[in-house]
């Protein structure tokens, strides 16, 4: 167990829901909920104040939605992982969350252990999608008009970076595997996003898988 717990901000407009989520997150022994918010404006204010490791956000909240908060966190370049934890599995919400730059999207119907794992993964810089959402999104991406856009070919190095990204490796771990710097990894990812018309790591991986550029990776075999 890590000496330092994962510091989480929890935002949901239902106090009873927050209480239940807080209980099983902190019961893991790895996570401490340092602040709670009942609306999006309060959530963003607390994120700015506390700089948690991970912000766990509902989508539908008063004043600002979880998507708005995620977008603001990315616009302000705050060093905070964003996990959307919601009851909504509608495709427009999923796309909006990915475009806002969230690191993960998990349904409230997931097992408590899976939600704890999702917080842990987001803290490690990985992308997380609820399995049911991932399957449906891949199918939708395969059929969508967006994927009829012409895609520029990826270089061998870009494919190497994308394969490791799909396996959940952080930029630092990718750099170590390929003997390149974190900044170089970031540069490759930026080019990959542009070529695949993607707004996030998860969307880039999904588009690459649906086009057959890389194989699907359904299990986590990334380094500890």
pLDDT given for residue 186 in this prediction: 93
The CATH T-level fold of domain 6-139 is Rossmann fold (3.40.50)
pTM of the shown model: 0.62
Strands ordered across the beta sheet of 128-129: 31-37, 6-11, 54-57, 81-86, 104-107, 128-129
Q: Where in the chain is the domain with CATH 3.40.50.2300?
A: 6-139
pLDDT given for residue 191 in this prediction: 93
pLDDT given for residue 135 in this prediction: 65
pLDDT given for residue 181 in this prediction: 94
pLDDT given for residue 82 in this prediction: 92
Residues 30 and 24 sit within 8 Å (Cβ to Cβ): no
pLDDT given for residue 190 in this prediction: 93
Q: Where in the chain is the domain with CATH 1.10.10.10?
A: 145-210
In terms of CATH architecture, what is 145-210?
A: Orthogonal Bundle (1.10)
Stretches where the chain sits below pLDDT 50 are 1-2, 145, 147, 218-224
Q: What is the pLDDT of residues 194-218, one digit of tens each?
A: 888 888 888 888 778 777 788 765 4
pLDDT given for residue 199 in this prediction: 81
Q: Encoding tokens for residue 38?
A: 């009942």
Residues 67 and 39 sit within 8 Å (Cβ to Cβ): no
pLDDT given for residue 136 in this prediction: 64
Distances (CA, A) of 71 to 27, 140, 178, 187: 30, 23, 31, 21
Q: What is the pLDDT of residues 169-187, one digit of tens each?
A: 889 999 999 999 999 999 9
pLDDT given for residue 56 in this prediction: 94
- Nearby residues of 212 by Cβ (< 8 Å), 6 or more positions away: none
């Amino acid at each position: 167990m890590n000496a330092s717990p994962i510091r989480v901000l929890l935002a949901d407009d239902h106090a009873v829901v927050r209480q239940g989520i807080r209980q099983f997150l902190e019961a893991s022994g790895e996570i401490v909920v340092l602040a709670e918010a009942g609306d999006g404006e309060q959530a963003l204010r607390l994120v700015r104040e506390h700089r948690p490791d991970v912000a766990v956000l509902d989508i539908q909240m008063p004043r600002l939605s979880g998507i708005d908060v995620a977008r603001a966190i990315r616009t302000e370049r705050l060093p905070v992982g964003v996990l959307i934890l919601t009851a909504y599995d509608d495709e427009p919400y999923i796309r909006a969350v990915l475009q806002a730059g969230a690191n993960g999207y998990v349904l409230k119907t997931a097992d408590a252990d899976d939600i704890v794992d999702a917080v842990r993964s987001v803290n490690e810089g990985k992308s997380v999608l609820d399995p049911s959402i991932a399957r449906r999104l891949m199918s939708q991406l395969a059929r969508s008009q967006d994927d009829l856009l012409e895609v520029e070919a990826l270089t061998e190095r870009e494919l190497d970076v994308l394969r490791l990204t799909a396996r959940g490796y952080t930029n630092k771990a990718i750099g170590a595997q390929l003997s390149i710097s974190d900044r170089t990894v970031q540069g490759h990812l930026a080019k990959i996003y542009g070529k695949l018309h993607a707004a996030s790591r998860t969307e880039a991986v999904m588009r690459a898988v649906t086009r057959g550029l890389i194989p699907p990776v359904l299990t986590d075999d990334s380094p500890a």
